[in-house]
């Protein structure tokens, strides 16, 4: 069974006056995708806890999946003990997670990201949140 983990990093770019706050998804310790190019939508990720569906968890940094060439979301299937992901874009992948581990990783990960964001925003003059502000 795969292990899901969320974390956040703050990226700086030499020719940019902003620092970017980028949430990451790690599966079995490896980044799900290239987060220097793609962003994640925490709202879609959080909604995937509850029910089956197609979720645009991977998106563009601007928040519009099509901008990054993502035209199909992650298909999320729930059964009694597992949650399965079928990803077709940007790279074909499949993962199966324990329901309890999945819910815990997402809820604790989002709480930690909010805490990290609060700390970072106190220190930074200009901070961009990618792709959506956390509410």
- The answer to whether residue 8 scores a pLDDT higher than 80 is no
Q: What is the pLDDT of residue 103?
A: 92
Q: What is the pLDDT of residue 24?
A: 84
Closest by Cα among 4, 8, 55 to 30: 4
Closest by Cα among 70, 102, 72 to 84: 102
**Mean pLDDT, range 71-97, rounded to an integer:** 95
**Mean pLDDT, range 8-32, rounded to an integer:** 74
Percent share of the chain, pLDDT over 90: 44
- The answer to whether residue 105 scores a pLDDT higher than 80 is yes
Check residues 98 and 135 and name the one with the higher pLDDT: 98
Rg (CA), the chain: 15
Integer Cα distance of 5 and 59 in angstroms:
18
Check residues 120 and 24 and name the one with the higher pLDDT: 24
The confidence band for 5, taking pLDDT boundaries of 50, 70 and 90, is: confident
Q: What is the pLDDT of residue 134?
A: 47
C-alpha distances (whole Å) from 73 to each of 65, 78, 86 are: 9, 16, 9
Burial of 2 by CB count in 10 Å (0-12 exposed, 13-18 middle, 19+ buried)?
A: middle
Q: Which of 18-22, 23-27, 55-59, 111-115 has the lowest mean pLDDT?
A: 18-22
Tell me the whole-structure pTM to 2 decimals.
Answer: 0.84
């Amino acid at each position: 069974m795969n292990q899901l983990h969320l974390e956040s990093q703050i990226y700086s770019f030499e020719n940019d006056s902003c620092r970017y706050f980028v949430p990451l998804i790690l599966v079995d310790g490896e980044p799900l995708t290239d987060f220097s190019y793609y962003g994640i939508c925490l709202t879609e990720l959080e909604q995937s806890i509850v029910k089956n569906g197609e979720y645009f968890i991977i998106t563009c940094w601007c928040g519009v999946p099509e901008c990054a060439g993502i035209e199909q979301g992650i298909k999320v299937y729930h059964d009694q003990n597992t949650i399965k992901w079928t990803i077709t874009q940007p790279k074909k992948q499949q993962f199966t997670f324990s329901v309890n581990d999945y819910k815990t990783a997402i809820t604790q990960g989002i709480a930690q990201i909010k805490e990290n964001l609060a700390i970072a925003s106190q220190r930074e003059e200009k901070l961009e949140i990618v792709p959506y502000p956390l509410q």
